[in-house]
Structure formats: C-alpha cells, structure tokens
Amino acid sequence: MRGVWLEEGRIHVRDDLDTPRPAAGEALVEVSMAGICGTDLALLRGYAGFEGVPGHEFCGRVVQCPERPGWIGRRVVAEINLSCGRCARCRAGLRNHCQRRSVVGIRGRPGAFAELLALPLANLHPLPDAVPDRRAVFTEPLAAALRIGEQVGLPRAEPVLLVGAGRLGQLIARALAASPAELHVVARHPRQRELLEGFAAAILAEDAVPAGRYAVAIEATGGQTGFEQAVRAVRPQGTVVLKSTGCGTTQLDPSRLVVDELTLVGSRCGPFEPALRLLEQGLAAEDLIDEVFPLGDAVEAFRRAARPGGRKVLLQPQG
C-alpha cells in the first residue's frame, strides 16, 4: 500500500506499507481526500513524538466491513479518538480523554495520508450525499471549532476576539458566524482578511487590539505572540480559549491570571453531527482550499502547506 511515512522529522512516500486489516468491529476505508493541518506540520517538528502515517482530517468510502456489510460503499468521515470504553474516564463519559486512547495519525494509530486505513465502526459517520469530498474533508476541524461553543458561554452583549485567521481560525469564524456573538478577528495576511468577509464583524491588525476589552478571546495561532495577545485582550474574569496544539512551549505569567481571575480553557475535538449538518446546509469551505496534490507529491504538498498565510492543502490518495 502507498502512504506517507513520517520519521525523525522527515516525510517520504512509501509503496511498501502493509495493507491494514480490519479487526473485530472495524471497517476498511478507502481514503478519498485528506487535509494537511497545523497539527500535521507540528508532528514534523517533533510534536507528540509520532512515527508512522500521519493525517486525521479526511473522508473516504468503506470497502470492507466483515461484521456490517451494509456499510460497504458508504462515504464516511471519522472521529479520530479511539477509546477503550472500559477505563474510568470512558465510564465517566470522557471517551476523548480515554486513558488508553489512540489518536488517528497522531498517537499510536496510522493516519489518513495513505490509500487505506482501518477504523472502528463506532468512529464512523455517514456522509450526506449533498456534501462533496472537498467540503467533507473539513468535518473534523469544523467539529473542533464547534467545541468552543460547548465549553464556553459566548456573550451576546459584547464581542468575542479570535486571534489567528489561518486554516483553523477561518473555520472557527464560520462556525461562530451562526452564533449570537459579535466576532472580531486578528488577521495578518491580506488573503486571510478577504476570506473573513461576511464572517467577522471586525477584522483587526495585530497592533489594533484593545487591551482588557473582551470577555472571551480564542487563541488559534499556537504561538507565544498569539497567546500573549489573547491574554492581554480579555477583561478581568475573562476567558482565554486555547485552540492550537504545537511542539513548542508557551511562557505564562500566573500573576495576571490570579489578579484578574482569568480562566484558561483548553479545547480540542468536537461534535461531528452538528458539523455535518452545517456542511450539508451549505456552510462554505471549498474556498479555503489552496491546492490538491496526489499522494505521490506529499513532500511538496507539506512544503506548500507550511507557507505563512496559506490555505488548506489536500492530498488525494486515489487516482
């Protein structure tokens, strides 16, 4: 099987990978389209110590399903956390934080930058016919964007700040556009600002963010500067939502958190069903795509995806 292999900070395309075999309760999925995200780029820099096939934003078609043959031929997307269902966290309803979990393309489980992958049926969601592959590939990051609304009460009477208008930030803006919150976004690049039109009430330069104004600030850059800006922007008793993972460290002044009684909220994976409903209803996503590369050109695709201000780069394993 052909797939992208990550090892010691480098990627290359291999044609000798073992074809996955579905275990009990699993299906074999032929990957149609997969997106390169910031986490994949962080894996190259050493985040999570992952070695193997990366990739977790994808859509595909079930080609084998020994226990449930009715799934064969279905177009699907998949949640990326594989839980044991038996540990204390799973029993408490925290399956995404399972003590024994693996994570597709990130932790202990081969990812979607390959022709095929095997996944539990419990993780699969059928795709509505109205959602084409180029939109469906955004399901996982859109679900992650929607997670913010599950965790934090978004204010109606005052604006919310989003720091960062990259790949994830653009989806957060679109997810929050349907909420009652007035969204202000910090965007560096002209193309990012163009894509935000219609989804943000205000688009700010980095040096134009007022200090102490916002009840909620969402950090979506994954960098020290973005984190500092988000903390500086919230008012006393405000909330900073951290939405990006990375391999670096962030310095934190705990005295500011204590004196101003700030709340830090980590935010990761979110609900697929609401994300699929939004995509089926026509939530715009295809305009966030820069380029689509065949799997054999994955090295160049990763190089393009790492360009500052770039949009989403996709890999197409089939064809």
Mean pLDDT over 57-83 rounds to: 97
pLDDT in the model for residue 79: 98
pLDDT for 279 beyond 60: yes
Put residue 306 in one of left, alpha, beta given phi > 0 → left and psi -120 to 50 → alpha. Answer: alpha
At CB < 8 A and 24+ separation, what contacts does 38-43 make? 38/166, 38/167, 38/168, 38/222, 38/244, 38/245, 38/246, 39/106, 39/245, 40/105, 40/302, 40/305, 41/302, 41/305, 41/306, 42/222, 42/245, 42/246, 42/247, 43/6, 43/106
Confidence of residue 249 (pLDDT cuts 50, 70, 90): confident
pLDDT in the model for residue 250: 78
pLDDT in the model for residue 218: 98
Cα–Cα distance between 190 and 53 in angstroms, integer? 34
Mean pLDDT over 132-145 rounds to: 97
Mean pLDDT over 131-154 rounds to: 96
Cβ neighbours, 10 Å, residue 54: 30
Cα–Cα distance between 59 and 134 in angstroms, integer? 9
Percent of the residues in the chain that have a pLDDT greater than 70, as a whole number: 99
Mean pLDDT over 26-40 rounds to: 97
Ranking 24-28, 146-150, 179-183, 215-219 by mean pLDDT, the lowest is 179-183
pLDDT in the model for residue 246: 63
Q: What is the pLDDT of residues 90-117, one digit of tens each?
A: 999 999 999 999 999 999 999 999 999 9
The DSSP symbol for 114 reads: B
Query: How far, in Å, are 113, 189, 284 from residue 38 at the CA level?
Result: 15, 17, 20
**Chain-wide mean pLDDT for the chain?**
95
Q: What is the pLDDT of residues 167-211, one digit of tens each?
A: 999 999 999 987 888 999 999 999 999 999 999 999 999 999 999
pTM over cut 0.85: yes
Residues 6+ apart with CB under 8 A from 225: 206
**Spatial contact of 229 and 187, defined as CB atoms under 8 Å apart:** no
Residues 6+ apart with CB under 8 A from 226: 163, 164, 186, 219, 220, 244
pLDDT in the model for residue 95: 95
Mean pLDDT over 252-280 rounds to: 95
- The type of residue at 148 is I
